[in-house]
């Protein structure tokens, strides 16, 4: 049975990039022995980092020595190292050399597969370690095009997946939308607030539920604009509560905005919304175009355009049964994109490339 060393930051959460590591390890363990190496306590056979993979070189070397000693102690050959998140590439590269591992696969999620490799001074750390990468795997063609600006070898595109797919029962006719993620400008929060401000003149009871760590500046902005009755901050909630709030909404909205270095590399939350029978709205000129089927599983809007976003959201408020129709199409879409498929793609990459 092949032995894989899977290096990542956190296996506690099943959101965002952490969900990729959690679900990939589960799938790979069906046919491989996988040792998970993490920074934070999680599950499985874990070794622990004290710091991130590159910020403290002395600590990184110390961690690498400890992990190398433990791996050699069990007297097994590591066939492949999978670096599950970009900041751990340096320590993954060191372990590849010290353990004499033939293959290192780097998973690139989005922004971090781009700016640390081209922006000074981080590029001085990350670019030299790019030579140890045998396979670079990214979730979208959009991200591939970004990574190709510095990585000149073959890049594999493997879209992420979802697990649980279940139909939604719309329990009320409340005019609700939901946002899940970091409350910052890059996620399009200001555009979304502007859209809600436009909608409330025609639909006074329209609501936007914000899920995620609360940004006090965002809370203050809603008060200054008189939106406190329309925008509800729930903070960080349990996975069960998140799904309940999501499934009680007309649609999920994440109108991400690209900056010089930042971009939406896949938008897994759009697919997670579909898996719960909920349509999703995201922005064009990003990987959202590869996740959302415009007009079927949700809508695409212009980046930073509150009027366009408000128009897309308004359709759910005025078109009867649109939420249910798109939700059902989203279910079908999500069923085609699952972690079993992702796991098989990685098995092929591990064995054949």
In a domain, 167, yes or no: no
In a shared domain, residues 180 and 322: yes
| Sequence-separated (6 or more) residues with CB below 8 Å from residue 12 | 18, 40, 41, 42
Ramachandran area for residue 252 (φ above 0: left; ψ -120 to 50: alpha; else beta)? beta
Question: Which segment of 107-116, 171-180, 228-237, 307-316 scores lowest on mean pLDDT?
Answer: 171-180
pLDDT of residue 36: 87
Instruction: Quote the number of domains for the chain.
Output: 2
What distance in Å separates the CA atoms of residue 14 and residue 143, rounded to the nearest whole number? 22
Ramachandran area for residue 277 (φ above 0: left; ψ -120 to 50: alpha; else beta)? left
- What residues pair up with 207 in beta bridges, in sequence order? 176
| Per-residue model confidence as pLDDT tens digits over 4-48 | 999 988 776 666 678 899 899 999 999 999 988 887 654 445 555
In a shared domain, residues 152 and 298: no
In a shared domain, residues 236 and 259: yes
What distance in Å separates the CA atoms of residue 125 and residue 123, rounded to the nearest whole number? 5
In a shared domain, residues 143 and 260: no
| Sequence-separated (6 or more) residues with CB below 8 Å from residue 171 | 247, 248
In a domain, 171, yes or no: no
Whether the upstream peptide bond of residue 285 has omega within 30° of 0, thus cis, is: no
In a shared domain, residues 144 and 225: no
pLDDT of residue 167: 65
> Could you give the strand order of the β-sheet that contains 298-301, starting from the edge strand earlier in sequence?
231-235, 207-211, 176-180, 251-254, 279-283, 298-301
User: Which structural domain range is residue 13 located in?
Assistant: 3-161+339-352
Task: Give the rounded percent of residues in the chain with a pLDDT score beyond 90.
Answer: 73
**Is the pLDDT reported for residue 285 higher than 80?**
yes
Helix 189-199 and helix 306-318: axis angle, to 10°? 50
In a domain, 170, yes or no: no
In a shared domain, residues 250 and 319: yes
**Secondary structure, 3-state, 193-242:** HHHHHHHCCCCCCCEEEEECCCCHHHHHHHHHCCCCCCEEEEECCCHHHH
| Per-residue model confidence as pLDDT tens digits over 172-206 | 556 899 999 999 889 999 999 999 999 999 999 99
CB 43 within 8 A of CB 11: yes
In a domain, 313, yes or no: yes
CB 286 within 8 A of CB 300: no
In a shared domain, residues 347 and 279: no
| Per-residue model confidence as pLDDT tens digits over 45-55 | 555 554 556 77
Mean pLDDT for 142-150 is 96
Q: Please report, for the domain that includes residue 25, its CATH number.
A: 3.40.50.2000
As given in the structure block, the two tokens for residue 266 are 């896949």
In a shared domain, residues 100 and 209: no
**Is the pLDDT reported for residue 111 higher than 50?**
yes
Task: Give the rounded percent of residues in the chain with a pLDDT score beyond 70.
Answer: 92
In a shared domain, residues 346 and 327: no
Q: Which position has the token pair 């290096």?
A: 7
| Per-residue model confidence as pLDDT tens digits over 308-340 | 999 999 999 999 889 999 999 999 999 999 999
In a shared domain, residues 138 and 81: yes
- What residues pair up with 7 in beta bridges, in sequence order? 37, 83
In a domain, 201, yes or no: yes
Angstrom distances, CA of residue 21 to CA of 16, 29, 38, 329: 9, 12, 10, 27
The span from the first CA to the last CA of the chain, in angstroms, equals: 18
In a domain, 169, yes or no: no
User: CA angle, corner 161, sides to 302 and 321, nearest 5?
Assistant: 55
pLDDT of residue 43: 45
pLDDT of residue 197: 97
pLDDT of residue 224: 94
Closest by Cα among 167, 97, 164 to 128: 97
In a shared domain, residues 112 and 80: yes
In a domain, 153, yes or no: yes
In a shared domain, residues 151 and 209: no
């Amino acid at each position: 049975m092949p032995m894989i060393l899977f290096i990542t930051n956190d296996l506690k959460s099943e959101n965002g990039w952490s969900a990729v590591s959690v679900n990939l390890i589960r799938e790979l363990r069906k046919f491989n022995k996988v040792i998970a190496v993490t920074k934070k306590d999680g599950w499985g056979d874990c070794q622990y980092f004290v710091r991130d993979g590159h910020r403290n070189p002395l600590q990184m070397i110390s961690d690498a020595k400890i992990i190398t000693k433990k791996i050699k102690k069990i007297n097994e050959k590591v066939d492949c190292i999978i670096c599950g998140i970009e900041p751990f590439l340096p320590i993954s590269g060191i372990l590849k050399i010290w353990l004499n591992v033939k293959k290192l696969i780097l998973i690139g999620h989005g922004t971090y597969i781009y700016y640390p490799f081209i922006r000074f001074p981080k590029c001085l750390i990350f670019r030299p370690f790019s030579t140890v990468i045998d396979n670079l795997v990214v979730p979208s063609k959009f991200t591939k095009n970004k990574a190709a600006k510095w990585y000149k070898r073959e890049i594999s595109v493997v879209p992420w997946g979802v697990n649980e797919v279940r139909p939604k029962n719309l329990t009320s006719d409340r005019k609700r939308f939901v946002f899940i993620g970091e409350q910052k400008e890059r996620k399009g929060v200001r555009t979304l607030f502007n859209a809600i401000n436009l909608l409330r003149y025609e639909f006074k009871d329209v609501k936007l539920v914000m899920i995620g760590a609360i940004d006090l500046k965002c809370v203050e902005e809603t008060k200054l604009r008189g939106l406190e009755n329309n925008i509800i901050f729930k903070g960080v909630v349990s996975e069960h509560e998140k799904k309940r709030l999501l499934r009680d909404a007309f649609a999920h909205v994440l109108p991400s905005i690209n900056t010089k270095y930042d971009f939406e590399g896949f938008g897994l939350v759009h697919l997670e919304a579909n898996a719960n029978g909920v349509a999703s709205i995201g922005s064009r000129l990003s990987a959202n175009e590869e996740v959302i089927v415009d007009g079927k599983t949700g809508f695409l809007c212009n980046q930073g355009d509150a009027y366009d976003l408000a128009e897309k959201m308004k359709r759910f408020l005025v078109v009867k049964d649109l939420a249910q129709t798109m939700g059902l199409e989203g279910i079908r879409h999500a069923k085609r994109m699952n972690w079993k498929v992702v796991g098989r793609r990685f098995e092929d990459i591990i064995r054949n490339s």
